[in-house]
Structure 1
Amino acid sequence: MKKQLGLITLASLFAAPAFAAPETYLVDPNHTYPRFEYNHFGYSNQIQRFNKTSGTIVFDRAAKTGSVDIVIDARTVDTGYALFNEHLQGEDFFDTAKYPTITYKSTAIKFDGDKPVAVEGLLTVKGITRPVTLSLSSFQTMPHPIVKKDALGANASARIKRSEFNAGKYAPHVSDDVTLTIAVEALKQ
């Protein structure tokens, strides 16, 4: 019996590293700037961004699971032009007086082998929640060379219709289709 107990204990010691626990990463607000792109009257594609984002990413490579919880401060929309920033914060678009944040909460992470390739979740804009799948064009975890902590980075994008979030003014002249892109970096806690 002692021999069997010893073998079980020894086996569990070697197996323990295979059971990695979920790792929690805090979004780095200095390297995470969600952007949105739309066509402006057929002239050009305009790209704007938000300057303040927070959130948490939980990632378990071994279990192929995780979660994403992102909060974008819609009051920090940045077009490079203060008057247009105010216009976008108005009732016709983000209505930041009533809805100061935009949120994205994952419902599932999709993998191709060991690599996450998409995040399914719920996007909430102006109090309206819709399912949105973010495609990942890149995903990386590794030690950060400057802060000496493990870090996670990804580029995610999705195409949405702004009219589905009660922000469709001037469509179709200003395109209803909007590409949402989130370049995110996060540090392990």
Structure 2
Amino acid sequence: MKKVFSVLALSLISFASISQTWSLDKAHSNVSFTITHMMISEVDGKFKSFDAKMTSANADFSDAKFEFSAEVASISTGNDMRDGHLQGADYFDAAKFATMTFKSTSVKKVKGQTYTIVGNLTLHGVTKPLTLTATLKGPVENPRSKKMMMGITATGTVNRVAFGVGTSGPSLGDDVTIKVSGEFTKD
């Protein structure tokens, strides 16, 4: 039994030592969204306050774990009145549900730089599965810091009504495209 425990402990230590953490460079990153308005035009917005991280032991990132979060009250569509309405109880209810989070459950390399990231999105107190299509670029060495860095752009579609964000109707589309673009530096 001691031998089994020792092997297990060494395996975990070995995994921890080769697992790499990548931190977000917020100055070169964003979390944005697009929704259809009146079934004829698209309105874009973003979240000003967000964070993300990635860990991976494999060089091809096939075992990566991605997480991102955004503070709902930081929503910005370029219109203060609309932003206030979106933060209110009719939509995001930011006072009650302050954060949107995503945690991956699997990552699959599709081809080249294209990956599928499957995980759980929690929004408005509801958690549902979300599949993101991602492009990973890099890693490359930063010429100034000499640290390794990489870029990730991931997109997916969320049915906002399924999360309890507003109601279905002719003024806003039910589906929202989410786009997370991040520049990450290896810790």
- TM-score tier (shorter): 0.7 to 0.9
Structure 1's 145 and 95: CA in aligned 2 closer, same or farther, altered over 3 A? farther
Is residue 18 of structure 2 the alignment partner of residue 26 of structure 1?
Answer: no
Asked whether the 8 Å contact 1:108–1:119 carries over to 2, the reply is yes
Shift of residue 99 of structure 1? 1.1
Q: Which moved more, 1:154-163 or 1:140-149?
A: 140-149
How big is the alpha-carbon RMSD for the aligned residues of Structure 1 and Structure 2?
Answer: 1.9
Is residue 177 of structure 2 the alignment partner of residue 184 of structure 1?
Answer: no
CA displacement, residues 25-57 of structure 1 (integer Å, 9 cap, x when unaligned): 111222221111011002311110111111211
State the TM-score, normalizing by the size of structure 2. Answer: 0.83
- Equivalent AA in structure 1 for residue 67 of structure 2: D
State the match for 1:39 in structure 2.
36
Pick one of 154, 160, 163 that aligns with 2:161: 163
| Structure 2 unmatched runs, 5+ | 1-16
Asked whether the 8 Å contact 2:136–2:150 carries over to 1, the reply is no
Asked whether the 8 Å contact 2:22–2:185 carries over to 1, the reply is yes
Larger Cα-atom Rg: 1
Asked whether the 8 Å contact 1:35–1:182 carries over to 2, the reply is yes
SS of structure 2 residue aligned to 1:75:
helix
Aligned identity (percent) is: 28
Shift of residue 72 of structure 1? 0.8
SS of structure 1 residue aligned to 2:86:
helix
**Equivalent residue pairs, number:** 170
| Structure 1 unmatched runs, 5+ | 1-19
C-alpha separation in 1, matches of 2:112 and 2:39: 41
State the TM-score, normalizing by the size of structure 1. Answer: 0.82
Pick one of 50, 69, 72 that aligns with 2:70: 72
